Amino acid sequence: MEIKWPDGLKKTKQRTDVYEVLLGADSPMSAVDIFKRVPDYALSTIYRILSSFEKYDMVIKSNLPGEDNSVYELNRGGHTHYAMCLKCHELVPLKKCPFEHVDIQTEENDFEITSHKIEIYGYCSKCR
Please give the average pLDDT of every successive group of 10 residues along the chain, which has 128 residues: 80 95 91 94 97 94 74 82 83 79 68 76 91
CA dihedral 3, 60, 18, 24 (to 10 degrees): -80
Domain spanning 1-76: which CATH class is it, in words? mainly alpha
pLDDT at 31: 94
pLDDT at 14: 96
Element (H, E) at 50: helix 43-55
Helix (H, G, I), strand (E, B) or coil at 107: coil
User: What are the residue ranges of CATH 3.30.1490.190 in the chain?
Assistant: 79-128
Of 113, 39, 33, 119, nearest to 81 (Cα)? 119
pTM score = 0.74
pLDDT at 66: 63
User: What are the residue ranges of CATH 1.10.10.10 in the chain?
Assistant: 1-76
One-letter amino acid at 57 equals D
pLDDT at 55: 95
* Annotation: CATH topology of 79-128: Dna Ligase; domain 1 (3.30.1490)
Helix (H, G, I), strand (E, B) or coil at 34: helix
Could you tell me which residues come within 8 angstroms of residue 89 by beta carbon, excluding any fewer than 6 positions away? 64, 67
